[in-house]
Amino acid sequence: MTLMLLIVLCVNDPAAQVAPAPGPIFTSQLALINLLQRTALLSMAQSGFDPEQYRLDAIRTGFDEIRKHYTQCDIAKTRERMAALESAQPTVTEEPVYQKLKRDLGVVGQKAGDLKGVHWLQGKTDLDVSPLTLLVFWESWCPHCQDAMPLIQKMFSQYHVKGLNVIGLTRITKPADMTSVIQFIAENEIEFSIGKDPGRISEHFQATSVPAAAFVKEGVIIWRGNPDWITEETVLAALAYQNP
């Protein structure tokens, strides 16, 4: 730590911030700083300090906090913590899971549009028939969707009376077909509305992979992410959410 402090003092020395004329003294200063930096890194390595592990731990801790706020539908706090993490750990923007969250957040606050062109396989509904709508993009062949849909059905059963509507949209991509989709609905006792997306709706919500989900309230997308992130706390927060 003494060596690191010495480096900081050297770098932050007001005299060092004034561009000196090239010469032996200036060269010596640079050599001294480089030597101190190398010595400090060697000292940290010998003490067991791992800079890469420190970076990963900091990113993991920051992302866990971001996820907590996003699960609570606290969009403002989520964006605030993301900005803070990017400032402290710029390399977090290279992480795929972080990039996906930023894409998901990119549609939050946008108009949800409508469901024109949907071919209904079960039920018929719209985005504004209930105070809150959970839109789920899924495919019957997707293992994660197969796990998520029964859980979403339980969520629908529990919160439908409190104002939650659920809509499942599938594009019926290969190897799925109409028969396998209908069979999945029956076997899993799915009660909420299911429709075939013409493609434009998933594109509008930037649901480029499945499963994907979004909460819509008063015609506005208030949350967008993976169904795995949706908890009871998320639903209650979304029901209570007030658009700006």
State yes or no: cis peptide before 211, omega within 30 of 0: yes
pLDDT of residue 16 exceeding 50, the answer is no
Listed residues 65, 80, 107: the one ending a domain: 107
Which long-range contacts (C-beta less than 8 Å, at least 24 apart) are formed by 7-16?
7/33, 7/36, 7/37, 7/40, 10/36
What pLDDT sits at residue 8? 39
Instruction: Give the model's pLDDT for residue 52.
Output: 86
Same domain, 131 and 232: yes
pLDDT higher at 46 or 158: 158
For residue 36, the model assigns a pLDDT of 66
Say yes or no: 136 and 97 in one domain. no
Q: How far apart are CA 32 and CA 10, in angstroms?
A: 9
Residue 142 lies in a domain: yes
Residue pair 105/224 in contact (Cβ under 8 Å)? The answer is yes
Residue 111, classed as helix, strand or coil, is strand
Residue at 112 is within a domain: no
Token pair belonging to 56: 């990963």
Q: Are residues 163 and 79 in the same domain?
A: no
Contacts of 185 (CB under 8 A, 6+ apart): 121, 122, 194
Query: 79 and 170 share a domain?
Result: no
Mean per-residue pLDDT over the chain, rounded? 88
Residue 2 belongs to a domain: no
Check whether 112 has a pLDDT greater than 50: yes
Task: Let me know: does 157 contact 240? Beta carbons within 8 Å.
Answer: no
Same domain, 229 and 205: yes
Q: Is residue 184 part of a domain?
A: yes
**157 in a domain, yes or no?**
yes
- For residue 171, give the nearest of 144, 207, 213, 147 by alpha carbon: 207
Q: How confident is the model at residue 88 (pLDDT cuts 50, 70, 90)?
A: very high
Residue 86 lies in a domain: yes
Tens-place pLDDT, residues 154-190? 999 999 999 999 999 999 999 999 999 999 999 999 9
Count: domains in the chain: 2
In the three-class reduction of DSSP (H, G, I as helix; E, B as strand; rest coil), residue 206 is classed as: coil
Domain with 150, as residue range(s), is 119-240
124, 212: one domain: yes
CA dist., res. 195 & res. 184, Å (int): 13
Q: Which pLDDT score is estimated for 51? A: 83
19 within domain boundaries: no
Q: Is the peptide bond before 22 cis (omega within 30 degrees of 0)?
A: no
